[in-house]
Structure 1
Amino acid sequence: MTTRSKKMIDCDVHVAPQHVDEIRKHLDPKWHWRPLTGGRDLFRHPTYVDRTDAAPPNGLPTGSDPEFLRKQLIDEYGITHAILLHRSFGNPMPFVEFATAKASAYNDWVAETWLGRYNADGVFKGSIQISHQDPAASAREIERWAGHPHMVQVLSDSGARAPYGNRMYDPIYEACQKYDLPFATHVGTDGMGINLQASVGYPSHYIEWSTAHSIGYQTHLISMLIEGVFERFPRLRVVLVEGGVSWLPTLLWRLDTLYKQYRNEVPWLKRKPSEYIRDHVRITSQPLERPDDDRHLLRMLELADAEHILMFSSDYPHWDFDSPRLAFPKLPEALHRRIFYENAKEFYKL
């Protein structure tokens, strides 16, 4: 039996402040009266968001205790690097100035704590949170953190007022390309605040909203491919976090088929839409759709080119956490190594 590689990169680990004052101290005093917490105002989870065993025994909020997180995730599974996604939930806010200030304060906090005094061994890698409603301010925030040794990507929500191929976002992509940082988007805030719902109208239930996350990602990806984002920014890299995997092959088949018929409409594209994926796009594995027959999953991974575009993620500490030991059926050694380590190492240049 082949020995599994022990190296592993987890591309979706959520952390939180131990107290809201950790964020507030990084804000201009003029913002101190404003509430700093917030998340899903329309579609709250009907039972619980986090694993019931993920709350630290010392009473700190889930995802805020570095020693407990190390014990439960890093040490338990031998994680080489954890890509941290701290979310300010500023993208739905109509008051853009405060949304930008809030994102900036979260970046100061994560740099001081999880990427600073909690990170002597460098296992934690961070994300530059932006509020994409103000692309110019987002570009300045990217520039502010671009030289940090542990900031490895730019982070935004999938919730937006326009699909991500729109030229209004070009200052963000220009900064990402200039500083060689992937642009990552995490599902959520679709249909909240100023953001539009990607599906037709507003779902009635959380299960509908959650299932439709992949629709938002398909909308953004189609837009980026067809509107020529990767021609305008040939070195841009994009990460789609927590939006599923199985939709990708059929979407690209349909897109390539239509491209053959309508390519004259988009003369700026130099290749079939699907041919941009391997060079520019990566998808994280959680939540991994698991059919009853594992053979079907393995076939889907082959069709999705998982060997080159899929990166393992656990979504710790959330209720639908994917254990590295249980998320996949037995994989060929080479595919296992690519998904669990090499794809992320290469894409994030770790």
Structure 2
Amino acid sequence: MEKEKTIFPKEKFVIGDPYQRKDMDEKIGETKINNRSGSGVFSFKNTVVLLVTLEQDLTEEENSYEDFFEYPEFVWSSQKKGPYSKPTTPVMKGMLESGAELFVRQKAKNASKTNPYLYCGSVDALSHGRPQGEESPFKVKFQLLADIQGINSEVDNLITWKPINYKNTKASYIISSLDKKKKKNKKSSSTSQGYQADKEIRNAVEDYAMKLAISHYESKGLKVKDVSKEKIGYDLSCDSKTFSFGVEVKGTRSAGSKVIVTEGELRKAKEAKVELFVVSMIEVKYQLEKKNIVCSSGHWSVISPWKPLAESLKPKTYDYELPTVEWNEI
């Protein structure tokens, strides 16, 4: 009878902290990683753990992989041979559908001292393919679920590191594992950057939160209308015989400590009666065979009335109006 797989205790690891293989096994409670050489892939009951060394020995063809950050994403190359060389093997299929835990270091050793891996948190697979041909390793582009930039200088050094042949690499052009011919919904026409797979994930999270919000307000006997496409400053219009209000809906895979809001949403919240319905900790799985994204679980909360305070708003970008300048033709 096959022994049941161990659960990887994510809660025992701190993002940005260094861990040797033996440190990982101490937290796991049994030897799972330290005594296995030649592999950076470890399968657990609840996830897959990836140990990545960025600077490989380029004199060895088998090790000339292209692993690097394109923050907030990470490009990873599979092995050329063995159980982790194909996206259809059980471990790799599970990783593509449910994500992984990422540990990264720049070099294996400094002099004779083995370097630890820095924990970079959970990652979801956005796309995968073989941009260098069928005989090459398949590559995966992951999305980091936590904002790790600025946690410490060691993590920032990993993020900025690039392989020697980075400018010529084909790893950036990973074939999307989603059907490119699938019709986009209107929300996917956003001008935000990212691969189509990432947009599909965001759309699935938004749709999941919307369905939960509609169900919540309908259960209160309200007449609910989806007005998200009308761009009036909120997503749902809720009406009864005596009152009406709007609802702005937010869905996130994070713990929900913060959400992104637009200027229009803030303005509407000041002008009218609006509630904020937030769904956090949404689990996302990619069904490989059906090429379908499935959202489940999570927590929800309602802020009513929603009147955002200035001190609760943190600007991420600004529109900067340039002074009169002299332009040079390229």
**TM-score under structure 1 length normalisation:** 0.28
Structure with bigger gyration radius: 2
Structure of greater relative contact order (alpha carbons < 8 Å, 6+ residues apart): 1
